[in-house]
Amino acid sequence: MSGGDKLDFEIRPNPAPVSATDRAALLANPGFGRVFTDHMVTIRYADGKGWYDARVEARAPIPMDPASAVLHYAQEIFEGMKAYRAADGGVTMFRPYANAARFNTSAARMAMPALPEETFVDSLQRLIEIDREWIPDVEDGSLYLRPFMFASEVFLGVRPANEYLYAVIASPVGAYFASGVRPVTVWVSPDYTRAAPGGTGAAKCGGNYAASLAAQAEAAEHGCEQVVFLDAVERRFVDELGGMNVFFVYDDGSMATPPLTGTILPGITRESVIALAEAAGHEVRERPVSFAEWQADAASGRLREVFACGTAAVITPIGEVRFPDGEFAVADGEPGPVTMALRQQLVDLQRGKTADPHNWVHRVL
């Protein structure tokens, strides 16, 4: 990286920001990923030069040549996290260094350059500082942050690019579920898989999500909100949902979640849930869980709760499971006590409402 281990950001305030009145109207019902703030961060990279030209500038379209490498060879990665209004009026982020580390793990898998973790977190802080008024001051409101990087070199040829653009945009968001937390219905895909051993399943790259869209559409056709993927080798074991990790809660208080074997995304919410559950006295086992086991344990009553977790919805209870041969419910199909307790713990931690023994909360302002 040019200039040593730390980049100086050039601040170029938006000359025509959204007015306070218009911003308030947008924040009244922002939805998810539909409204964006006034600014963005950009940093460029070139082989032999490193990272350079770090800016906070007006959010605007990114000029792109038709031969830009990302359009042809899909070298692209991203992250997702949130900034919150804290109970004392300040602003917090939740485990941004974990996102920074995962970003670089994804970069390595996609043959892209690493971005120093301090620069990653600094880029988020700079954007939050200039756009802090965009953080919704409502229950469950937050500022969703989307750092991403793509190959910007202009060339045609199958090799890692020599030039990249890193950027961060931000979107104010409200509650993921407008009507409150409710159990979702999921579809177990019989034909599609998300990733295979040795593939890019553990990387947060756009291609993984593009590959899930047909299966997600299939789920919607069957009246389901989410798709469940089984493993690509035996088509027996649960991997993850379309964009979330999954947990199983049993009648003895123990929990299970599929192991990180390279085919599923190592979720930061997933890792946090494991730590919180163990601290609360639950035994958490990272082990393969077959779909047949899921169905049998739901029928016997041994399985009491199932939930998915991720940045957007935090923790989402799963109430009903559909598949080509039928359907079944988990317990009574209602959110369970373990699911809801863990969700509340996470929400309170993220917003600085409770003690933080893990030092997960990063103070921004």
Distance CA 168, CA 149 (A): 9
Q: Which residues are known to be catalytic?
A: 204
Residue 309 near residue 315 (C-beta atoms within 8 A): yes
Distance CA 186, CA 228 (A): 7
Higher pLDDT, 181 or 239: 239
pLDDT tens per residue, range 165-205: 999 999 999 877 655 688 999 999 999 999 999 999 999 99
Residue 1 near residue 164 (C-beta atoms within 8 A): no
Q: Which one, of 273, 62, 61, 32, lies nearest residue 143 by Cα?
A: 32
Predicted confidence (pLDDT) at residue 1 exceeds the cutoff of 80: no
Residue holding tokens 């490498």? 69
pLDDT classification of 344: cutoffs 50, 70, 90: very high
Bridge partners, 68 (sequence order): 154
Six token digits for residue 200: 């890019």
Six token digits for residue 305: 């709760």
Six token digits for residue 339: 């699911």
Distance CA 134, CA 365 (A): 14
Residue holding tokens 């305030």? 13
Q: How many CB atoms lie within 10 A of CB 278?
A: 12
pLDDT tens per residue, range 39-65: 999 999 999 999 999 999 999 999 999
Distance CA 179, CA 344 (A): 17
User: What pLDDT does 3 receive?
Assistant: 41
Bridge partners, 170 (sequence order): 145
pLDDT tens per residue, range 88-120: 889 999 999 999 999 999 999 999 999 999 999
Query: Three-state DSSP class for 160?
Result: coil
Mean pLDDT across 329-347? 93
pTM of the prediction? 0.96
For the chain, the maximum distance between any two Cα atoms, rounded to a whole number of angstroms, is: 63
pLDDT classification of 69: cutoffs 50, 70, 90: very high
Distance CA 339, CA 181 (A): 11
